[in-house]
Amino acid sequence: MSIALTDYHVHTPLCRHAEGTAKEFVEAAKRAGLAEIGFADHNPMPEHFDDWRMDYAELPRYFEFVEEARSLGFPVRLGLECDFILGREGWIEQLSGMVEWDYLIGSVHYLESGWDVDNPKHLFRLTDDSIESVWDRYWRLFGQCVRSGLFDFVAHPDLPKKFGHRPKGDLRRYYEPAVEALQEANLAFEINTAGLRKPVQELYPAQTFLELAAQASVPVIINSDSHAPGEIGAGFETALMQARNAGYRQVCRWCGRQRIVVNL
């Protein structure tokens, strides 16, 4: 494994669908040969919002978890995976001012209120007839998320393929505007290896997206989206190979919301 690599998309049990102690995550990062680990749990909302994130009152416990990890003598970054929801941008701004984050990740999970596109309970809504409009809506939001100026990088670019559904035809019609937005906003995106562990069994994003992004010199980071210590660094060899094949020779890190570029 390249010593340049870090894992910046790691969840904690506070989100109610992850497991592991701070020590177990740090030990796993050391075992995987990573240079740093960064926690980025699902952001709380001011009200109780859904069943897969910490409540706002639990945020201090999240900071304690990260502090505990930091006390173990390994580089630990503090991040947050923030849901980009139209009309709720002010809340992300509020969160961003609360503590000294190393980075904020922007994610589009919600296509509309109550419809998180990666949640298997909405799988019935993904049909041959609907998939085109699902992708249209998703990528429009993705572009808005990129251009919002709220985030340091965006997560799992082509998430709606999670269960294996894709519209017909050349998907560059979705990738090209997304890559253009990233380039114009000077924003990074992640190669997320969780897709390898989902029904689609491939990285987010698709190789064609990666190639377009590399050609446009859009900065990248490789992350696992771990919800357990055993997933830290999972699939990184595959991600590294595909990143190199696409033309990438560098990855990013963050400290205090400053982007640092590291050679692979």
Note whether 43 binds Zn ion by CB under 5 A. Answer: no
Q: Which position's Cβ is nearest Zn ion?
A: 107
Looking at 100-108, 119-127, 137-145, 170-178, which segment touches Zn ion (CB under 5 A)? 100-108
What distance in Å separates the CA atoms of residue 264 and residue 248, rounded to the nearest whole number? 8
**Min CB(142)–Zn ion separation in Å:** 12
Looking at 68-76, 83-91, 105-113, 125-133, which segment touches Zn ion (CB under 5 A)? 105-113
Note whether 107 binds Zn ion by CB under 5 A. Answer: yes
Tokens found for residue 38 = 């960064």
Q: Which is nearer to Zn ion, 106 or 219 (CB)?
A: 106
Q: Which is nearer to Zn ion, 192 or 242 (CB)?
A: 192
Looking at 135-143, 147-155, 203-211, 252-260, which segment touches Zn ion (CB under 5 A)? 147-155
**Min CB(107)–Zn ion separation in Å:** 4
Contact 117, 109 (CB under 8 A): yes
Looking at 92-100, 122-130, 148-156, 181-189, which segment touches Zn ion (CB under 5 A)? 148-156
Contact 217, 39 (CB under 8 A): no
- Residues 154-183 touching Zn ion, rule: CB under 5 A, are 155
Q: Identify residue 100 by its one-letter amino acid code.
A: E
Q: Which is nearer to Zn ion, 107 or 242 (CB)?
A: 107
Q: Which is nearer to Zn ion, 59 or 155 (CB)?
A: 155
Contact 153, 77 (CB under 8 A): no
Number of residues that bind Zn ion (CB under 5 A): 2
Q: Which is nearer to Zn ion, 43 or 107 (CB)?
A: 107
Nearest alpha carbon to residue 95 among 63, 141, 140:
63
Q: Which is nearer to Zn ion, 54 or 155 (CB)?
A: 155
Q: Which is nearer to Zn ion, 105 or 252 (CB)?
A: 105
**Min CB(54)–Zn ion separation in Å:** 11
**Min CB(146)–Zn ion separation in Å:** 15
**Min CB(232)–Zn ion separation in Å:** 15
Residues within the interface to Zn ion (CB under 5 A): 107, 155
